[in-house]
Structure 1
Amino acid sequence: MAVAAYASLLSLTRMLESIQSPARLHQLRLDTKQIQCLQAKVKLLLDFLEVYGQRRSQEMEDLATQIADAAEEAEDAVDRHVVDQLRDGSQDESHREAAFSSFCQDIDKVIAKIESIIKELMMAKEEWADPQEQKPIASLPVGSSDVLSSIDKNSTVVGFDEHLVRVMDELTRDELDLQIFPIVGMGGIGKTTLARNIFEHPYIVNHFDMCKWLTISQENNVRKIVLDLLNDVKTEDDNKKTLAELGNLLHKKLFGRRYLIVMDDVWNTNVWDDLKLFLPKNKTGSRILVTTRLSNVVVSLSSNKSYMMDFLDEDKSWNLLCQETFSQESCPYPELENIGKDIAKGCKGLPLAIVVIGGLLGKSNMTRESWELVAKNLTSVANSEDDDYCLRILSLSYHNLPIHLKPCFLYMGVFREDYKITVSKLAKLWVAEGFLKPIRGKSLEQVAEAYLRDLIDRNLILVRTYGHGRNIETCGIHDLLRDVCLRENEKENFMRSPKVQRAYIGSGYDMCFACGRNPTSHKIDLNEVHVASQQTSLVSVSVCNTCRNMYPRLTRVRLVRVRVIVRTRGFSRESYEEILHPTNVRYLKVKSSADWEFAFPSTMALLWNLQVLTFGLKSGLPKAVLPPEIFDMPQLRHLIAPRKSVFLPDQTGSQGSVSMANLQTLFHITNFRCTEEIVQRMPNLKELKVSYYGGTGSMEWSYYCLYNLARLSKLESLFVGSNGLLSLENLRFPTSLKELRLYGCSIPWEKLKIVGSLLPNLKVLSLSKNTYKGREWNQVEGEFPRLKVLTIFDCQLVWWRAENVNFPNLESLVLSFMWKLEEMPSVIGDIPTLRSIHLESCNNSVVDSAMQILEEQQSYGNESLQLYVDEKQVCVS
């Protein structure tokens, strides 16, 4: 429950900050001192949870529940007050005064409740031990190494043969200096099993004068570890010696000897930092072998070598399953082989899951029916078998997370199994949820990326795909870890209400608004839900029995607290008025298949806390104009329109002065005018996609003020589309640009050097649909010093002459539908950083020249360059 409380407090903190922003203060009447008093008390609670939130006791659970309830009560009060003021600005003074007085009373009640909680926690702190002694690991029932030891005694190295050879080779190299070698991977991937097999291998035993095994996960007592290392020379007087004296004895014992020390299940470097002081540095070829789930431990160990363990492939998974089930690397029952391979595949390459399932299958009656039952319930079976064997091991990683990362991890349970999560979308969702703690000098999206990287380094989230520059593009989570998410969600009561709300209107069938999948006839009217329903949707939604059981507080917690996804089909304009009323929505996605012209209602401004707005339209519809109220939404961070005719409202002569300083993304706006007012209102735009259709005259292009693009000093990514009439003279770019994509512009190839010289930070350049005029491109040195990705699509280029110095950092070259291009410049292959060439629908001469480049590079020993033709990799024999 501490995690839910922590997330609720952070969400409330952001809400209180937003209503005190300059953009809101001129719209709202607040008792600023009262709000600041509430903020101070909320900060006290946050500080308390950051120190004591890992403590596991009933008293802590009760306090956390009270904190979460108080935070949600405060959010509801603020939301009602803000909406009342935005909606009832035209009401008489007496009405506004009564509403303000009621709001102040509500906040006073919350403050009183929080003060009472603070008194309780102060009393509790006096009884609790020093928080530094409250290690989350120590409160767990079993350590991972203790659990794994039961299989290590009989474990084989099925699937680990290559790992074994490589690591042993590293440990026994001729390098004489003391070296640390970490084995890294997620829980259950086989680090301890591999280390144990290495430790006990005869070659290792003979190579080292002394081998010692230390289990660190639950034992951070350096004195005890030193005594364990002194085990064979220990005397009764040793218990009376100081740590320094014991360390001196250890130093003498190890001096001149070649030793191997295995430190299994390391969560931090505290023990190593103390232990290394007693280890001799004499050049004997000694080694320290470390197993850890945390990639950042490798950095802290100052090791320049590490071994990352990957998941087993399908063949090795099947071999290991057979070994654990039948004690041989094949299946003696032909009728079970296909279903057995499906089970092995379903374990997703995690040895721990395979071992557990194999043990279960080995005790089964060996019928297809019993194996099919296991296959259908693989994750739950694996995590519940042998007294929650897998679950306890994997949960260690969760319990060792700092509290600020726990909400982000638990949130991963929202996504279905095997779902590829786009990193940019995940960051937006985490930000919208409100449980990211701001870091000075970083945007919340950057904080989200840092949190994601931390969870990846802890091997809790998996990288699915990389984009250019090795940036993480999509991520995911192993099925067993997702099950940990769901179980810990239930324990923590983190998902007090659904994180995704869906309303299917006019679709002809009912779907559950929470999971979006299970059909149901049970309906809940949002008017039944909590007092805040006065400002929530009037749409009746369906809830399946599974979700009713998952969210016991469903009828007491406002459904639309954070985000809503609405899918609409063939219903009236009036329905939008209903759908857009949930006022505390922060992430809104609307898909419309209606046949009429799309328009958001003016009540859109009541979504005062909206941060992400994305919507899609039915193809072939006429233009859609966003309402003027879009400029009265200072919290908006990302506005993503469909790739159709969507226009911003004309603000010429507008009296509004609301800053949209939070806006970072503005996608798919047609005939965007970059006026002085826009530059001032949106100073922090990072991503902009705009298209221009119509006019040809210079006077008309000046109307769009595209020279002001250069004043968007935070802009990093820009897409400009045109019908072939936009020239370079009409454009100005900010030097901050890292990505530039031009579509259908009309720029001579020789002018491209101007773009390169003016954009020193450019890393991605995409030229599409005759963006550049002419048949010949002669490059000059120094045009694109930092460019990593170059894409040319459907341009009329015939002759391309270049030198390798033109793109000194190019990593990827993409050519698509370049029918007239005669060949690629051969020197492209000499670029040392080039890793891939992608050709799609190009003529044969271009493909032949690319093949020659690949052959030449391979003859030089360059095996890193890859060539893809129509999405198929080309290999040269």
Structure 2
Amino acid sequence: MAVAAYASLVSLTDVLDSVQLPRRRHRLHLDKEQIQSLQQKVLFLQHFLELHSQRISPEMEDLARQLAVVADEADDIIDYHVVNQLLEKSRDNTHHMAALSSFRQDIDKIIKNIDSITEKLMMVQEERVAIQEHPPTIFASMGTTAPSSSDKNTMVGFDERLFQVVDELTRDESDFQILPIVGMGGIGKTTLAQNAFHHRLIVDRFDICIWFTISQQYSVRELLLKYLINAKIIEARVGGELDLAKLGECFHKLLFRKRYLIVMDDLWSIKAWEDFNRYFPVNSNGSRILVTTRLLDVARSLGFDNHYFTMTFLDNDESWDLLCEKAFARKSCPYPELEEIGRNIARYCFGLPLAIVVIGGLLAKSNHTREYWDFVEKNVTSFVNSGDDDHCLKILSLSYHSLPIHLKPCFLYMRVFPEDDWIEASKLIKLWIGEGFLKPVGGKSMKGAAEEYLKDLVDRNLILIRKWTRSGKIKECGIHDILRELCFRESKREHLIRVPKAQKIHISIPISDDTCFLCGHGGESNKIHLQEVCVGSQSTKVVNPSVCEACSNMYQNLNKLRWVSIHDQSCVRYLLHTKLRYLDVERGDRFSMNRSVIILDKFFLLWNLQILDLNSMETTSLSEVWEMPKLRHLCNYTGSLPDPVKGQDSTILQNLSTVWIQKFCCSEEVVKRIPNLKKLCSSGWLSGDYCLAQFNKLESLHLGFGKSGLEDIGFPTSLTKLSLVFCTFHWEKMTIIGSSLPNLEVLKLHSAFEGAEWSPIEGEFLRLKVLVIFSEELEHWGAEDIHFPNLHALYLHHMKNLEEIPLSIGDINTLQSIYLDKCRVSTINSAMEILKDQKEKGNESLQIYVNVVNEEPVYFRLR
């Protein structure tokens, strides 16, 4: 319960911050000193739990339970008064003294309840200290930074097995074969398959390599659709309209007569295999299917002549080697006094790689003292000696219990995502912020704090990195299914999400307004279990937020929704009295020309809203945005942000850091109102005076469909990422970008420049790491290695007229990869010359990827 109490207190602190923010049109009537007094008490309790979360007694657990309830009640009371005042203010300007008095009385009750719990907590703590002669050491993770091992899948003890798998897959036999890998969860099946999948012999042998993660809940259509879209075989808009038969036919055609390798990871049944198998052509050319499964009967059924690979546990030496790799980022222990203890820890993980990796992440974050390692050894040993078959989960729980309390809610939140899900890091961060789990530390923003939290959990091997961005940041992540099970177990124990507090609703199928989504008057298919709504299950699908009077009276907690995703704007009006922090609105038919218009005149009631994604929905006006002081993220592809009304009491949107808008009014007043803007995307063009240089914290800028000159924009020197799309600039103007942006690291040019020749100038683009060019006009690129001395990756798309890539580009010491997509043959040949030249110079690290335009695109890597 300490985690639930802590999460509620952090969320309440954010609410108290919100209620004190100045508002120009809808000023709240409250006792500011009283609110600040309450906030200080809440911050004290946060600090207390941070200090003592590792040694909470049963008495403290009971008090923490009470504290969580009081904090949630305080959240409700504040929201009640704020919404009532906003509603009254929108009608007339009377009764504010009565509102102030009522608000003050309720806050006073909250303070008394918190004071009572605080006093009891202090008494319990004093008694505990008095009893103990030596208070126990708090074994929380230390602040030392260890190298992250998350960017690679360490193979320890499986070299021979990897050789066998690769040999089987590349054997010169034309028969179509299925090779199963079987073993318990966490034993390394997926890691072995991944290392085989990316092995050089595999990449060279197969025309197409495809990876499917199946899991217990799967959709053949969704997996095929996702692959075909990612491989650019079909467009998302077209694919969304195709049924399974059409998608399967397209997939079958893609593989026909090609030598392919398909990995089916985490297969749970023969039925799942049969559902997919019909779309795999049986080519007699050495095509292979590699399957990983926990079920021996599945492996036996699929394996040719009953042949399959069985994963075995690591022996003691291999376990120790893997633990060293994770704890020290090296193959041996640099502390002789810890080796004996460490070997015991590794031995009692029973050779299970997942357990060793997670414990290694725990030890990597420690200060490597004998006392701490003794503590870990004692706990791991006790789990083994208990005789409980669940010892693996108990070993993994060590890492959870050793987490600082501020990371625990974020880790436990991972359970809401489906098994084996690929989670967008940006979305996860928004959800953490929306739940109120985060607090800014060290001057960082909420987003910055969330990124630190995510990195910390990755470094502890509790969250997996599934995909990186071009600039080297986490793009997609996930969690091992055993650790996900741990999240479920610990969430239940911690009571982190308490019914009936609703956390999320996803609204996807609009029906008649008189149909209640709780009791389902519209028919049996429209019914939904209340508990699903209350706990925010990922599987929750709500057909309409309309609630009948009976259900509204019975379930009054529906106004506590934090995150709502709506695919029809007609549902918006039901949500104006909720505690929304994250609202995502998009029509199901995004490409329809008959889109409805959202009216935002009542959005000021969403006083705590932080993330507003209107996507492609049209709006009457976004002027209400200027009355949302908590707003952090605004997205509306088809809207425009109007110039705010000038005034000395203007609301300053200190938190607004991301704006994605069609037409951005870049005036002096706008600059004044959003001083901390970090990311700006204007899919139309800028209007007003060009004051971009005054956004001195802007890091990422995306501009599209521009007609003005580059010299008119005035880029801020703080930019690290710039994207220009469908502009009409000339290549000689590139020097404006190169000379005025000393911190630029990522540059994306999509049909942004006109002309046949670009000759870069030395001394510009000194920090550029990623360069992406999409141009059908460019013929000659007069670049050398000195022009991009820090380049890591080069992407060339649709360069149909580019004669060649300059040979000296390969001499850039930092260059790791070149990607060519639909380029002319001479350009591809020049890339092969670069690769050959670099190999002759001893450079084996450069990788070149090519997409050749045939009947179907085929991606391969030049070697």
Report TM bin, short chain.
0.5 to 0.7
Q: How does 1:56-205 map to 2 (within 5 A)?
A: 56-89=56-89, 95-129=95-129, 133-134=135-136, 159=158, 194=314, 196-197=316-317
- Aligned-partner SS, 1:792: strand
Residue by residue, what CA displacement relative to the aligned partner does 1:811-830 show, whole Å, maximum 9, x if unpaired?
11111111111111111111
One-letter amino acid of the counterpart of residue 677, structure 2: L
Q: How does 1:665-704 map to 2 (within 5 A)?
A: 665-667=658-660, 669-692=661-684, 704=688
- Aligned-partner SS, 1:436: coil
Aligned to 1:342: none
Aligned to 1:487: 489
- Aligned-partner SS, 1:293: helix
- Aligned-partner SS, 2:109: helix
Matched, 1:540 2:546: yes
Aligned to 1:812: 793
Aligned to 1:603: 602
Question: How much has 1:423 moved relative to structure 2?
Answer: 1.4
Aligned to 1:371: none
Aligned to 2:710: 728
| Partner Cα distance (1:601, 1:524) in 2 | 29
- Aligned-partner SS, 1:453: helix
| Partner Cα distance (1:604, 1:826) in 2 | 57
One-letter amino acid of the counterpart of residue 18, structure 2: S
Is the 1:294–1:458 Cα contact (8 Å) retained in structure 2?
Answer: yes
Count of matched residue pairs: 644
1:592 aligns with one of 587, 595, 598? 587
Is the 2:600–2:620 Cα contact (8 Å) retained in structure 1?
Answer: no
Q: How does 1:344-423 map to 2 (within 5 A)?
A: 387-423=389-425
Q: How does 1:293-312 map to 2 (within 5 A)?
A: 293-294=360-361, 297=364, 300=367
Matched, 1:767 2:745: no
- Aligned-partner SS, 2:833: helix
| Partner Cα distance (1:70, 1:395) in 2 | 29
Residue by residue, what CA displacement relative to the aligned partner does 1:358-394 show, whole Å, maximum 9, x if unpaired?
xxxxxxxxxxxxxxxxxxxxxxxxxx99532322122
One-letter amino acid of the counterpart of residue 774, structure 2: F
- Aligned-partner SS, 2:747: strand
Residue by residue, what CA displacement relative to the aligned partner does 1:743-773 show, whole Å, maximum 9, x if unpaired?
122222122122111100000011111x212
- Aligned-partner SS, 1:734: coil
Question: How much has 1:596 moved relative to structure 2?
Answer: 4.2
One-letter amino acid of the counterpart of residue 609, structure 1: N
| Partner Cα distance (2:588, 2:735) in 1 | 44
| Partner Cα distance (2:134, 2:412) in 1 | 25
Matched, 1:581 2:555: no
Question: How much has 1:21 moved relative to structure 2?
Answer: 2.8
- Aligned-partner SS, 2:89: coil
Q: 1:86 to 1:830 in 2, by over 3 A?
A: same
Q: 1:838 to 1:872 in 2, by over 3 A?
A: farther
| Partner Cα distance (2:704, 2:358) in 1 | 52
Q: How does 1:267-282 map to 2 (within 5 A)?
A: none
Q: 1:60 to 1:291 in 2, by over 3 A?
A: closer
| Partner Cα distance (1:123, 1:686) in 2 | 47
Which ranges in structure 1 are unaligned for 5 or more consecutive residues?
139-156, 165-185, 202-212, 217-225, 230-249, 251-258, 268-288, 303-351, 357-383, 530-536, 543-547, 549-553, 694-700
Question: How big is the alpha-carbon RMSD for the aligned residues of Structure 1 and Structure 2?
Answer: 4.1
| Partner Cα distance (1:131, 1:445) in 2 | 43
Identity in percent: 44
Question: How much has 1:295 moved relative to structure 2?
Answer: 6.9
One-letter amino acid of the counterpart of residue 717, structure 1: S
Aligned to 2:769: 788
One-letter amino acid of the counterpart of residue 749, structure 2: L
Kindly name which structure, 1 or 2, has the bigger radius of gyration based on alpha carbons.
1
Question: How much has 1:443 moved relative to structure 2?
Answer: 1.0
| Partner Cα distance (2:427, 2:803) in 1 | 40
Is the 2:796–2:819 Cα contact (8 Å) retained in structure 1?
Answer: yes
Q: Which moved more, 1:20-29 or 1:630-639?
A: 20-29
- Aligned-partner SS, 1:852: helix
Aligned to 1:705: 689
Q: How does 1:833-852 map to 2 (within 5 A)?
A: 833-852=814-833
Aligned to 1:437: 439
| Partner Cα distance (2:89, 2:442) in 1 | 36
Q: 1:749 to 1:31 in 2, by over 3 A?
A: same
| Partner Cα distance (1:802, 1:745) in 2 | 22
Question: How much has 1:670 moved relative to structure 2?
Answer: 2.2
Is the 2:31–2:100 Cα contact (8 Å) retained in structure 1?
Answer: no
Question: How much has 1:262 moved relative to structure 2?
Answer: 5.4
| Partner Cα distance (1:290, 1:102) in 2 | 55
| Partner Cα distance (2:596, 2:359) in 1 | 57
Q: 1:660 to 1:158 in 2, by over 3 A?
A: closer
Is the 2:10–2:438 Cα contact (8 Å) retained in structure 1?
Answer: yes
Aligned to 2:838: 857
Aligned to 1:263: 342
Q: Which moved more, 1:291-300 or 1:725-734?
A: 291-300
Is the 1:599–1:627 Cα contact (8 Å) retained in structure 2?
Answer: no
| Partner Cα distance (1:673, 1:260) in 2 | 63
Is the 1:52–1:131 Cα contact (8 Å) retained in structure 2?
Answer: no
| Partner Cα distance (2:59, 2:565) in 1 | 40
One-letter amino acid of the counterpart of residue 676, structure 2: N
Residue by residue, what CA displacement relative to the aligned partner does 1:229-273 show, whole Å, maximum 9, x if unpaired?
9xxxxxxxxxxxxxxxxxxxx9xxxxxxxx964524779xxxxxx
Q: 1:385 to 1:80 in 2, by over 3 A?
A: farther
Is the 2:8–2:68 Cα contact (8 Å) retained in structure 1?
Answer: yes
One-letter amino acid of the counterpart of residue 781, structure 2: W
| Partner Cα distance (1:187, 1:28) in 2 | 54
TM-score by length of 1: 0.67
| Partner Cα distance (1:765, 1:131) in 2 | 62
| Partner Cα distance (1:504, 1:598) in 2 | 18
2:723 aligns with one of 718, 729, 741? 741
Residue by residue, what CA displacement relative to the aligned partner does 1:338-358 show, whole Å, maximum 9, x if unpaired?
xxxxxxxxxxxxxx9xxx9xx
| Partner Cα distance (2:67, 2:18) in 1 | 21
Q: 1:407 to 1:290 in 2, by over 3 A?
A: closer
Aligned to 1:521: 527
- Aligned-partner SS, 1:640: strand
Aligned to 1:173: none
Q: Which moved more, 1:32-41 or 1:486-495?
A: 32-41
| Partner Cα distance (2:480, 2:533) in 1 | 38
Question: How much has 1:567 moved relative to structure 2?
Answer: 2.4
- Aligned-partner SS, 2:437: coil
Q: 1:455 to 1:653 in 2, by over 3 A?
A: closer
| Partner Cα distance (1:265, 1:512) in 2 | 54
One-letter amino acid of the counterpart of residue 733, structure 1: F
Q: How does 1:541-690 map to 2 (within 5 A)?
A: 558-561=557-560, 563-569=562-568, 572=570, 575-582=571-578, 584-593=579-588, 595-617=594-616, 624-642=619-637, 645-651=638-644, 657-667=650-660, 669-690=661-682
Question: How much has 1:733 moved relative to structure 2?
Answer: 0.1
Question: How much has 1:556 moved relative to structure 2?
Answer: 6.9
Q: 1:92 to 1:640 in 2, by over 3 A?
A: closer
Residue by residue, what CA displacement relative to the aligned partner does 1:647-703 show, whole Å, maximum 9, x if unpaired?
123436678711111100001x2231200000000111000001336xxxxxxx8x5
Aligned to 2:20: 20
Is the 1:616–1:641 Cα contact (8 Å) retained in structure 2?
Answer: yes
TM-score by length of 2: 0.68
- Aligned-partner SS, 1:869: strand
| Partner Cα distance (1:34, 1:46) in 2 | 19
Question: How much has 1:159 moved relative to structure 2?
Answer: 3.0
